[in-house]
């Protein structure tokens, strides 16, 4: 059995990713920070699809919580390791740079960028020892082209893209792949405050995407079929930016 950790797995794209693995025989660790009812709902849906898993609570932006929680899991599961890591957790705190507060910058950096280091660094050691691993980072259209009002978010996601490409070269010989998926406008809680009717005219396909469409790209990158793909970014954006 392969173990999959999905950070921010309780809702939206994270939940869709969890469910995409549920019918494939994976054991899914659903990470969440505060919304336990939604995390429980995700786990219930995983089991409804014939899968199995558990909830893993920690704040990805806090090194001590990450290491404590994952160390505890390893202690309860000797001889097992997490083969697939999906770095999905993220937040937005949009503001024009001239009005952006320090905490709005720092909070987004800590959750979207620093978390990549905290979680990946802890888990990659076992991947390298076992000579197998898949790391898939959920980035964003914003990290590729930049979006006004999202200097903090764009910078964080661009940073993860750079780290993806660098880490891929560090670990390729150990059969560990590192890739990213960059969603465009996807219908989730994170985009519910956006005006879809106005924004969809910018999208060649003329619509927002669904979380399941992102999840399918993630599942492919986690599969054996993607064993020779590393250091790449797959865009899931309806043709908005390629």
User: Where in the sequence numbering do the catalytic residues fall?
Assistant: 153
Calculate the alpha carbon distances from 13 to 18, 20, 186 in Å: 9, 10, 8
Closest alpha carbon to 128 in 64, 176, 161 = 176
CB atoms within 10 A of CB 162: 12
Q: Exposed/middle/buried for 204, CB within 10 Å: 0-12, 13-18, 19+?
A: exposed
CA gap 185, 139 in Å, rounded:
12
- Contact status, residue 240 vs residue 185, Cβ threshold 8 Å: yes
Q: How far is CA 158 from the centre of its chain?
A: 14
Look at residue 51 and give its three-state secondary structure.
Answer: coil
Cα Rg, the chain, nearest whole Å: 17
Residues 6+ apart with CB under 8 A from 13: 88, 138, 183, 186, 188, 211, 214, 215
Three-point CA angle 39, 42, 48, nearest 5°: 145
Q: Any idea how long the chain is?
A: 242
């Amino acid at each position: 059995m392969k173990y999959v950790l999905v950070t921010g797995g309780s809702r939206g794209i994270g939940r869709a990713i969890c469910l995409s693995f549920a019918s494939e025989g994976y054991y899914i660790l659903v990470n969440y920070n505060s919304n336990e009812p939604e995390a429980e709902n995700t786990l219930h849906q995983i089991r409804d699809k014939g899968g199995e898993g558990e909830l893993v609570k920690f704040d990805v932006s806090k090194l001590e919580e990450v290491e404590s929680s994952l160390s505890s899991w390893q202690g309860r599961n000797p001889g097992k390791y997490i083969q697939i890591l999906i770095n999905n957790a993220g937040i937005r705190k949009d503001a024009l740079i001239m009005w952006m507060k320090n905490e709005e910058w720092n909070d987004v950096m800590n959750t979207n960028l620093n978390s990549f280091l905290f979680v990946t660094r802890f888990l990659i050691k076992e991947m390298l020892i076992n000579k197998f691993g898949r790391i898939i980072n959920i980035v964003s259209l914003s990290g590729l082209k930049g979006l006004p009002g999202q200097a903090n978010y764009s910078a964080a996601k661009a940073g993860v893209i750079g780290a993806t490409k660098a880490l891929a070269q560090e670990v390729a010989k150990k059969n560990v792949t590192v890739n990213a998926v960059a969603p465009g406008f996807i219908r989730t809680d994170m985009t519910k405050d956006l005006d879809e009717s106005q924004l969809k005219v910018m999208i060649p396909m003329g619509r927002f995407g669904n979380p399941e469409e992102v999840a399918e790209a993630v599942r492919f990158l986690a599969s054996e079929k993607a064993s020779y793909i590393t250091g790449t970014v797959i865009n899931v954006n309806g043709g908005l930016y390629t």
